[in-house]
Every structure is written in C-alpha cells, then in structure tokens.
Amino acid sequence: MTHRPPLAHDRSKPPSAGRRVVALTGGVGGARLLHGLAGVLPPRALTAVVNTGDDFTHWGLRICPDLDTVMYTLAGLSHEQRGWGLARETFHALDAMRRYGAEGWFQLGDRDLATHLFRTDALASGRSLTEATAQMCQGLQVRTRVLPMCDQPRATMIDTRAHGTLAFQDWLVRERSTPGIERVRFEGAPEPGPDVVDAIERADLVVICPSNPYVSIDPILALAGVREALSGRPVIAVSPIVRGRAVKGPLAQMIADLEGRPASARAALGHYGELLNAVVVEAGDEAGFEVPALGAATVMGGRADRERLARDVLDFAERHL
C-alpha cells in the first residue's frame, strides 16, 4: 500500500484538529487494535469507550476487566500470552487470601490489585469511575482518553440453559463459559458516561473494535442515546471472528447458541445491522457483506501488527466513508 492514510498521524505535521476517532471496545482484541490506533493517531484524536458490563465485585473490590485490559494494553504493561493482567506480576496476596479461606477462583496479581484498590477507594470517596480511570491512566502515562461506557454499574447477565442466570464473570471465569446460553441481558438502565455521547457525536469516525458483539459492544450500544449518536456517524467494524473461529474467548459458541448458525465474520458483524458503513475482516472472509469490506491481517500479535491493522482500518475508512 503506497497511499498514506490521512487519518493516521503524520509526525511531520501537527495533528489535524478535525480528525476525531472514537473506538468502542471490550477486552483483549479490542484493546490491541486500540493500542494500534493510539500508535498511529495523535493522542487527542483518539477516545476509547470501554465496556463495563463485565464489572463485578470480588473481595469487596470493584473490578473492571475490560477497562483494566485497555489501560494495561495502552500502557504496554499487559501480559500478552495470558490475555489478562500484567506482564510482570506476582500473586502473593492471592496466596495469602487463599490461606484465609477466601475465594481464589479469580486470579488477582499484586500489582493488578492496586488498580482495584485504587478504584474502589476512589469510588467510595465519591469520585466517579470516569474520574478514577482518568487518574489511573495519567499514572500509567496513557495519553489516549479512556471513557468507561457508564459510571453506574450495569451488569451483563447470562441466562443459561441448565444453570439459571449467571453474572458474566461467573459464567466466563468460574464456569469456564461452558453452560449453553439462551439470552444475554443487561441489568439496570444507567446513563452513559458524561462524555460518551458527546465524543461519539463529535467523531469523524467510529471504530467498533474486534470485541464480542453480545457482551462487549452491545452493552455500550444499549445505553440511552448511543445508537442515536452513532446513526449519524461513519462506523467501521473489525471482525472478532477469523475464518469461523474466535481469536479469543467464547464468541464462536455464543454465535452458535444465540443465532443458531455457525460462527463467521458475517454472523458476528451482521449482528450490528444497519449501524455499519464498512467492515474489516480477515483476508478470505470478505464475501457476502452489503457494505464495503476490506480483507486484512486481523490477528494481532505485537505493536507492529496492531499499528498495521490500525492503518488499514483508517485508510479503508478514509477511502470509503
């Protein structure tokens, strides 16, 4: 590709004030594309709106798995192989908690624990999740604006066929995502975070990251005013399904359970319906879309992969939207 994408950051020029990108994201895959976007866009051009539907309380601490993955990934601190937590991590507190008889199924590292402690204490002191997140991002020298989708809790609940209704983390981690799914529901009806709708309305491009449509992106889309704000914006989505398989997590099985058809990029992105103006899928998965579809290398390892895909997405959007 010789065409230089104008949305991407040209270091010889000042950032273009008119180019604003909002990325909607969940955990690992989305965080990686976000990391790529952060690498190729000027810092103030990028805002991440992050799912908080997986949030839960454990040992009395407020845990926000997707926010943490996003912060750690943008800070270059995440454990890449494991897909959760920090790269340099120890588990001394967890060992000690188990010794006291505390629940030990959710693995909290010692450095990671500071994130949950800081957040829990900040919330108890009356600061909002948005404020606490901004302060932690500053501490981690993350320059991308990271917005929790909302400040109040909104739990994603999984109605299973044989095990009743489970909170998402209980289903995913404790039950290892084995119970078959009948339905995904969102509890409560909180307002979107204070800057979420405004950021979307001002965006020149919205990127839906390669995250789980049902449990990572739908919780954002279901917030009051978000779909309305998106309907006027150019939206491009990157498929979380690659040649019929999820790169990570239980999405392939969820598509089979919820849609009654095999997992595919089309099935995953089809879930967004009219919202999309373009899609980026794994090369070979382009067929059958009603909007422009780019085939690319969507499975991201390190920084180079992430920035290359980010450039492909921005470039394709620039040409087609």
Pairing assessment for the beta strands 21-25 and 46-50 based on DSSP bridges = parallel
Question: Under the criterion CB under 8 A, does residue 97 sit at the interface with a copy of itself?
Answer: yes
Binding-site residue total for a copy of itself (CB under 8 A)? 32
Q: Least CB distance from residue 42 to a copy of itself, whole Å?
A: 25
Instruction: Rule CB under 8 A: choose which of 15, 61, 157, 321 binds a copy of itself.
Output: 61
Residue 138 structure tokens: 């500053």
Residue 103 structure tokens: 């629940």
Question: Under the criterion CB under 8 A, does residue 115 sit at the interface with a copy of itself?
Answer: yes
Of 288, 253, 306, 268, residue with least CA distance to 41 = 306
Alpha helices in the chain (DSSP H): 28-40, 65-74, 92-99, 110-124, 129-139, 168-169, 196-202, 218-221, 226-231, 251-259, 265-270, 303-320
| Candidate segments 25-33, 115-123, 194-202, 265-273, binder of a copy of itself by CB under 8 A | 115-123
Residue 240 structure tokens: 């979380």
Q: Least CB distance from residue 170 to a copy of itself, whole Å?
A: 17
Instruction: Rule CB under 8 A: choose which of 43, 44, 87, 92 binds a copy of itself.
Output: 92
Of 300, 321, 320, residue with least CA distance to 309 = 300
Q: Least CB distance from residue 79 to a copy of itself, whole Å?
A: 14
Instruction: Rule CB under 8 A: choose which of 107, 138, 178, 231 binds a copy of itself.
Output: 138
Question: Under the criterion CB under 8 A, does residue 96 sit at the interface with a copy of itself?
Answer: yes
Instruction: Rule CB under 8 A: choose which of 14, 18, 60, 301 binds a copy of itself.
Output: 60
Four-CA torsion 196, 197, 200, 202, nearest 10 degrees = -110
Q: Least CB distance from residue 130 to a copy of itself, whole Å?
A: 15
Separation CA 75–CA 163 (nearest Å): 38
Q: Least CB distance from residue 71 to a copy of itself, whole Å?
A: 11
Q: Which spans of this chain sit near a copy of itself (rule: CB under 8 A)?
A: 59-61, 89-90, 92-97, 99-102, 109-115, 117-118, 120-121, 124, 135-136, 138-140
